[in-house]
Chain A
Amino acid sequence: MIQHFVAFQAMKDDILNQIEASRQVIINEKNKDDPFALVVDGKALEIALRNDIKDNFLQLAVTCASVICCRVSPKQKALITRLVKKYTGKMTLAIGDGANDVGMIQEADIGIGISGMEGMQAVMASDFSIPQFRFLERLLIVHGHWCYKRISKMILYFVYKNIVFGLTLFYYEMYSRFSGDVLYDGWYMVMFNLFLTSLPVISLGVLEQDVSSDICLQFPALYQQGQKGIFFSWKRIIGWMGNGILTSLVISILNVYVLSPSAFRKGGQVVDIAHLGLTTYTTIVWTVNCQIALIITHFTWIQHIFIWGSIFSWYIFLLFYGALPPEYSKREYKLLIEAVGPAPMYWIVVLLVVVISLLPYFIYMVIQRSFYPMDDHVIQEMKYGRKVVVDDEMWLREEKSSRKPTQIGFSARVDAKILYLKDQLHRKKMFIIKSIANSPIRRSISTNPLENRD
């Protein structure tokens, strides 16, 4: 028993020494950009991952460009992933194809399973599955990038639109002595998040692209926008909430001041709660949908149908609801046709409120695009704004500079380059030898050897 313990202690010390030595080597290395690779095998890993040594080990592993662990058990794979995740605090991705990778895949933040030779175990446990390893590049750089932008835009817009809608109800409470009278009809409120503003958001979240997929692959540096978290920072969240609050204020105040107390129509009629509610709600629907039209950068026919169709369906709903007998439609009976539709004031107010609400965001967008453009804006302009051929010199140069020289696979690339050069050299040699062999001088020398001797 004690022997076992002593042997174990010796192994532990040995491993600790190795870790320290390797760390020293890295520190002493003059050129800081040189890549290091760490190779660990299963038995050593078992000891290195113990609680007292694991910090040293992880510190060393994290400074290396790549770490190769061989002969590890599935439990160790999962353990490493968990430790790296906790130690670095960064987003981890695990990819594997066999049943022994399942632990690792589930442990990582993003687990990718490869379906194929080793069965479907990894696929069933993973978040994403791809058929071949080479598709990982496309998954990350194209779909990961798009997904990040889509989700951040969608969440921010969703918060904005609900703030706009909800706050107008609260402002009205100030006018009704906080008694709880609701400005809008119950059915309006049901329709808001269900039909009138949901489809454009879905089209934004599913189909939005800032740049097309081949440009994503040519400019991998765009992926950094997701890594740096540019599009979903606190600044943006607060900005959108502020935009929502400001918009709701504008909508509420303008509708109240324009529509009352004097008449709003040629016939001298004045507004009552149904008219005010209808006009305010119409302005909200228009504003919110036009705002998403400003956010979307990639317009297909689907987006157009959803956005303008939502607005149009609001009027259809009003006509239909107003046509129901008064037992069901109560205050909204024939509201659009008889009372509000023929009043020019209604349409003018909608136009005014929509433009005023969207003006701050539009000005912000203009200033940002003109003087502080983001990477995808510049690349969009390079591709779509100019009439220059895509593969010109500047495009290629920017392409190259958007790729950071990587340290992964360094030696393999060096070896490949050497092999290539050797091959070229060999070919040249063979060519020269062949050309000498076939030259007329040589042939003449070889056929008449006696004459040369003289």
Chain B
Amino acid sequence: MIKAPMNSTSTQLQDPSAPGRYSKRPQYSRFTQQELPACKPILTPRWVISVFMLLTIVFVPIGLASLFASQDVVEIVNRYDDACAPSGTKSDKVRFIQSDASKTCNITLTVPKHMKQPIYVYYQLDNFYQNHRRYVKSRSDKQLRSRKNENIISTCNPEDKANGMTIVPCGLVAWSMFNDTFSFSTGKDVQLPVTKKGISWKSDRDHKFGKDVFPKNFQNGSFIGGARLNESIPLSEQEDLIVWMRTAALPTFRKLFGKIEVDLQAGDTINVVVQNNYNTYSFNGKKKLVLSTASWLGGKNSFIGIAYLAVGGLCFVLAVAFTIIYLVKPRRLGDPSYLSWNANPSGLASLFASQDVPKHMKQPIYVYYQLDNFYQNHRRRLGDPSYLSWNANPSGH
């Protein structure tokens, strides 16, 4: 890459700096004359192949590292909403979940590989649009932050007041809080403790949910949407609520329920006692229980590793393909036969058409003229005397 040269004005007929002559020529500056030093990169074959090789060299290791990280993660996913409700039609299930019957359900999980602590316990909901606009707006962040804002509830409609009194925390988001619970024990009936502290973002606990705000008048209306809250614990310590209030981006999402800080061995059986309280049956939602470890990259997601490897592989193939093409069919840099006025000469310009010698030509080199569409073999043309030289170009007589 070479710096662009300084150019001189091509038309210099008069000398405006002659003495005694008032010149209106503006001050010269590199910026206004557009002569700033510049870099003009040219895409040569060398650059093309280097770029593709560089991408390969960067992407393949990252892809491999991501893929290994994802393979290291052990994940157990178990769908329990269909197993934990009586079989039958949808209305049967809805009736069950809204009744007072016992919702306890037992499921067994097997650990496929050794899982190092901390093991994260999530609940996953499918077909639950926490990102619906009216749902997302139905909350009052001011009320959550501090007690003096208790009555700022205008955005919480329809869950703002129950029986004439304000609800704290108000809004549909809090009202629909997830209320299934899980407790874990190993096959030998040893209870696995689940830590419920530290599952939410620290900035939420410290700044968005106030230490002086206590739940009040919650789930007192005619419809119960989800969990009840302990009225003596301030909101900044109600981590389940804080986790739920962070609205998910997509209709299929997971939320952290707790952490198990014990290792689990391969082949272990885990017994889970589920309180199947939450009604996802009326909208055909699904509920799943997920146990997962985490690597430096996150959870089990081989998509990124595969994507990186695919791109790295593609770039490698392109590098090889372009190398072969450049060797087989090279185009010399700056080859003037590619200029449009040489490639398609018109009229007089054809007199100046350039032809560069493609390969070494040994002498003698024969020069021919070739005519197309000229029927010299036409019957009437043969022996036509008008082509005799003394007839074709008569001299002055």
Q: Which residues of A contact B (CB under 8 A)?
A: 33, 131, 134-135, 137-138, 175-177, 179-181, 183, 207, 209, 212-214, 217, 221, 224, 254, 256-258, 260-273, 275-277, 297-302, 325-327, 330, 333-334, 338-339, 343-345, 348-349, 351-352, 355-356, 359, 362-363, 365-366, 369-371, 373-375, 378-386, 394, 397-398, 400-402, 404-405
- A227 to chain B minimum Cβ distance, whole angstroms, is 12
- A233 to chain B minimum Cβ distance, whole angstroms, is 15
**Bound complex: CA A369 to CA B42 (Å):** 9
Stretch in B242-250, B360-368, B379-387, B388-396 touching the partner:
B242-250
- B79 to chain A minimum Cβ distance, whole angstroms, is 14
- A360 to chain B minimum Cβ distance, whole angstroms, is 11
Chain B residues, Cβ within 8 Å of A262: 75, 254, 292, 298-301
- A133 to chain B minimum Cβ distance, whole angstroms, is 11
Do the beta carbons of A381 and B294 come within 8 Å of each other? Answer: no
**Bound complex: CA A420 to CA B331 (Å):** 44
Q: Mark B184-206, 1 if CB is under 8 A from A, else 0.
A: 00000000000000000111000
- B230 to chain A minimum Cβ distance, whole angstroms, is 24
Do the beta carbons of A179 and B298 come within 8 Å of each other? Answer: no
Chain B residues, Cβ within 8 Å of A338: 201-203
Q: A265-B298, A339-B201 known; 14 other A-B pairs, CB under 8 Å?
A: A134-B11, A135-B11, A179-B132, A256-B250, A261-B254, A263-B298, A265-B294, A365-B43, A366-B43, A378-B339, A381-B333, A384-B2, A394-B354, A397-B336
**Bound complex: CA A277 to CA B37 (Å):** 39
Q: Is B347 an interface residue (CB 8 A)?
A: yes
Do the beta carbons of A177 and B326 come within 8 Å of each other? Answer: no
**Bound complex: CA A401 to CA B349 (Å):** 6
Q: Is B323 an interface residue (CB 8 A)?
A: no
Stretch in B159-167, B174-182, B304-312 touching the partner:
B304-312
Question: Of the candidates B120, B314, B348, which one forms a contact with A268 in the assembled complex, judged by CB atoms under 8 Å apart?
Answer: B120
Do the beta carbons of A176 and B40 come within 8 Å of each other? Answer: no
Do the beta carbons of A270 and B331 come within 8 Å of each other? Answer: no
Chain A residues, Cβ within 8 Å of B136: 181, 273
Do the beta carbons of A257 and B352 come within 8 Å of each other? Answer: no
CB within 8 Å for A181 and B11 given contacts A300-B38, A326-B141: no
Chain B residues, Cβ within 8 Å of A302: 36
Q: Is B369 an interface residue (CB 8 A)?
A: no
- A142 to chain B minimum Cβ distance, whole angstroms, is 9
Do the beta carbons of B338 and A378 come within 8 Å of each other? Answer: yes
Q: What are the 3 A-B residue pairs with the smallest beta carbon separation, nearest first?
A: A262-B299, A382-B334, A263-B299
Q: Mark B119-143, 1 if CB is under 8 A from A, else 0.
A: 0101010000101111010000110
- B135 to chain A minimum Cβ distance, whole angstroms, is 8
**Bound complex: CA A374 to CA B339 (Å):** 7
List CB contacts (< 8 Å) of B16-39 with chain A: 24, 34, 36-39
Q: Is B62 an interface residue (CB 8 A)?
A: yes
Chain A residues, Cβ within 8 Å of B287: none
- A273 to chain B minimum Cβ distance, whole angstroms, is 4
Q: Is B208 an interface residue (CB 8 A)?
A: yes
Q: Mark B46-58, 1 if CB is under 8 A from A, else 0.
A: 0010010001000
Do the beta carbons of B38 and A375 come within 8 Å of each other? Answer: no
Do the beta carbons of B334 and A385 come within 8 Å of each other? Answer: yes
CB within 8 Å for A266 and B294 given contacts A175-B131, A212-B5, A401-B342: yes
Chain B residues, Cβ within 8 Å of A382: 334, 336
CB within 8 Å for A176 and B132 given contacts A273-B248, A384-B2, A398-B336: yes
- A307 to chain B minimum Cβ distance, whole angstroms, is 13
CB within 8 Å for A326 and B294 given contacts A181-B133, A272-B249, A384-B2: no
16 interchain pairs, CB-CB under 8 A? A176-B132, A177-B132, A181-B132, A221-B341, A254-B307, A266-B294, A266-B296, A271-B249, A275-B249, A297-B40, A301-B36, A338-B203, A348-B304, A348-B308, A378-B338, A385-B44
Chain B residues, Cβ within 8 Å of A264: 298-299
Do the beta carbons of B311 and A356 come within 8 Å of each other? Answer: yes
**Bound complex: CA A301 to CA B207 (Å):** 43
Q: Is B71 an interface residue (CB 8 A)?
A: no
Question: Of the candidates A257, A300, A404, which one forms a contact with B349 in the assembled complex, judged by CB atoms under 8 Å apart?
Answer: A404
Question: Of the candidates A183, A261, A348, A371, which one forms a contact with B124 in the assembled complex, judged by CB atoms under 8 Å apart?
Answer: A261
Do the beta carbons of B252 and A370 come within 8 Å of each other? Answer: no
Do the beta carbons of A276 and B249 come within 8 Å of each other? Answer: yes
Q: Mark B97-119, 1 if CB is under 8 A from A, else 0.
A: 00000000000000000000010
CB within 8 Å for A326 and B300 given contacts A299-B38, A301-B36, A398-B354: no
**Bound complex: CA A375 to CA B338 (Å):** 7
Do the beta carbons of B44 and A273 come within 8 Å of each other? Answer: no
**Bound complex: CA A355 to CA B60 (Å):** 13
- A25 to chain B minimum Cβ distance, whole angstroms, is 22
Q: Which of B2, B62, B203 gathers the greatest number of chain A CB atoms within 10 Å?
A: B203
Do the beta carbons of A375 and B34 come within 8 Å of each other? Answer: no
Chain A residues, Cβ within 8 Å of B10: 138, 214, 217
Chain B residues, Cβ within 8 Å of A276: 249-250
**Bound complex: CA A88 to CA B294 (Å):** 72
Do the beta carbons of A370 and B48 come within 8 Å of each other? Answer: yes
Q: Which of A217, A263, A351, A378 gathers the greatest number of chain B CB atoms within 10 Å?
A: A263
Chain A residues, Cβ within 8 Å of B370: none
Do the beta carbons of B298 and A343 come within 8 Å of each other? Answer: yes
**Bound complex: CA A183 to CA B248 (Å):** 11
Question: Of the candidates A180, A297, A345, which one forms a contact with B297 in the assembled complex, judged by CB atoms under 8 Å apart?
Answer: A345
